[in-house]
Homo-oligomer: A and B are copies of this chain.
Amino acid sequence: MTSDPLKKSRAVVLLSGGMDSAVCATLAARDHDAAAVHVSYGQRTEQRERRAFDGICDRLKIRDRLVVRNDALRVIGGSALTDITIEVPTAASHFSSFPSSFPLSDIPVTYVPFRNAHFLSVAVSWAEVLGAQKVYIGAVEQDSSGYPDCRPAYYDAFNEVVKTGTKDGKIEIVTPLIKMRKAEIVRLGLELAAPFDLTWSCYTREDRACGECDSCILRMRAFREAGALDPIPYHINVAEGTA
């Protein structure tokens, strides 16, 4: 975990292994001496996401990696991602409109209560110890699942927490993708040669993406709108929408 003085300033990037975080990490690694953090929290596709994290770090040549386990989110539950008794929805009907203003009318059951605060806390603690002054997170407001902790106001508030609650108050959380449409993120990723082939977005399967959960549907639509081919394997025939 030593910093290379010949290289750029340090940054910590939160890397789940999904397409947004992979593009975000590609940006962070381009502009900084990046260190990547991954949190396993008992989510259904934990193993697969961890593999995506390792692969993406290898490709982006990110040496400094922190993988931590968060037991609290699994024990607390309250989400279809961490509680196997709550079914992950597969119907696409609720994506006809995307919530983008507060209060949110329709937060899906895949929302993990206050999850991103856990992730940001780990990243900021590590940034303090590493001496990094930026924390990158690939949060996206529009075209996302409507989670409250993916909106600009949340990150503005969290930056105030970081300013008041750290040693020198100089760490900043940056959200380079937050205002982008998902198709724009695909295009940006292709420009940057982001490792889309190594990413994992599916909420339910670890072998081939289901193509039916909210996360798959948003991803498939983004690639389609960007006129690009999604390089990961799907369980269904994506072109025809059949298994």
Q: Which residues of A contact B (CB under 8 A)?
A: 39, 66, 68-73, 75-78, 102-104, 107, 111-118, 120-122, 124-126, 128-129, 148-149, 151, 153-154, 157-158, 160-169
Contacts and interface: CB of A to CB of B under 8 A. Distances in A.
B72 A71 contact: no
A117 B158 CA distance: 10
Contact of A76 (B103, B113, B114, B126): B126
Contacts of A153: 164
Which of A122, A153, A158, A162 has the most C-beta atoms of chain B within 10 angstroms of its own C-beta? A122
B68 A75 contact: yes
Contact of A71 (B68, B118, B157, B166): B68
Given A69-B71, A78-B129, A103 B168 contact: yes
A76 B125 contact: yes
20 contacts: A68-B71, A68-B72, A72-B122, A73-B125, A76-B125, A102-B169, A103-B168, A113-B124, A114-B121, A114-B124, A114-B128, A114-B162, A114-B166, A116-B165, A117-B161, A118-B121, A149-B164, A151-B164, A154-B164, A158-B165
Contacts of A166: 113-114, 148
Greatest chain B CB density within 10 A among A78, A114, A117, A124 is at A114
Nearest to A79: B129
Contacts of A107: 167
Given A66-B76, A161-B154, A118 B113 contact: no
B157 A161 contact: yes
A157 B169 CA distance: 13
Contacts of A115: 125
Contact of A117 (B102, B104, B121, B160): B121
B78 A128 contact: yes
A173 B124 CA distance: 20
A125 B113 contact: yes
A13 B170 CA distance: 30
